[in-house]
Structure 1
Amino acid sequence: MSILSKTINVLLVDDDEINNFISIKLIKKALLNTSITACLNGKFAIDQLVELQQKDPESLPDYILLDINMPIMNGWDFLDEYNRLGIDPLKKTKIYIISSSVFSNDISKAKSYPLVHDFISKPLNVERIKEIFGVIEN
């Protein structure tokens, strides 16, 4: 099945509402068939994921775009809790750290998590989104 023929479910976890608005617009511009849910902190995202896992594990997101610095539960704590709870035992979901951090220790730490596919610096752009989601243009 082509990536363009099915709906791609994305969970955006970032406390910056303006950034979320822009990211959602860019993702929808890059990908036609997307369902995007935004959470303003890691705790809320974990709660939603646990509920999805219990009700319908098939509906877990295809991608999680995760900020590092957030109140209540930051990105690192989210990753630890996500792993501890075994939310995605089939490893369906691809997690990307999306951060404005330029600290090399954050980039190294992100890459040390087996769950994390890559570290992406903000701001997002359409080309980078297409790269993340594997969109091939003719």
Structure 2
Amino acid sequence: MSNNPRSVSILLVDDDEINNFISIKLIKKALVSSEIKACLNGKFAIDELLKTQASGAENLPDYILLDINMPLMNGWEFLDEYKRLNIDPAGKSKIFIISSSVFSNDINKAKSYTLVKDFISKPLNIDKIRELFETEKHV
């Protein structure tokens, strides 16, 4: 692994604009070399990913941070549509559920999706973000 880290691309899918603002600030502090796009619901995220995929699968984000409870298309519907459309057949994007839900059925449901790497409880903080990306580097 080189000492020159490449930029990490992240798609943040959450309907809470204040939460997105804070998450983006924290991610940029933890990962200086990051490009972050935010979508306010799963439908917008699917549309964004389809556009990105059309320009080349290598342009898909490295990470998708996905909230569960959103209008228009929630996190579960997003995952089903993402899989149905085969947006990332090579598995470039690592998907993490980021949710304030403390219900064990949501946590278990998240783990039932092979697409989902982990379930992370909100609120995000710099330590959780660093831990998430540090763990990923060593996988």
TM-score interval for Structure 1 and Structure 2 normalised by the shorter chain: over 0.9
Deviation at 1:55, TM superposition (A): 1.4
Q: Deviations over 1:99-135 (max 9, x none)?
A: 0001110000000000000000000011110111127
Which is further off, 127-136 or 109-118? 127-136
- Identical-pair percentage: 70
Measure, in 2, the Cα distance between the counterparts of 1:5 and 1:122.
Answer: 27
The normalised TM-score by structure 2 is: 0.94
Summarize the Cα distance change of 1:63–1:4 in structure 2 as closer, same or farther, 3 Å threshold.
Answer: farther
Matches within 5 A, 1:52-91: 52-91=52-91
Task: Tell me, yes or no, if structure 1 residue 16 matches structure 2 residue 16.
Answer: yes
2:29 equivalent to 1:29:
yes
Hey, what does 2:48 align to over in structure 1? 48
Stretches of structure 2 that go unaligned for 5 or more consecutive residues are: none
Partner of 1:121: 121
Specify the alignment match of 2:98 in structure 1: 98
Separation in 1, partners of 2:130, 2:71: 29
Question: What is the aligned length?
Answer: 136
TM-score (norm 1): 0.94
- Structure 1: stretches of 5+ with no match in the other structure: none
After TM superposition, give the deviation of residue 3 of structure 1 in Å.
Answer: 8.3
Distance 1:2 1:36 in 2: 23
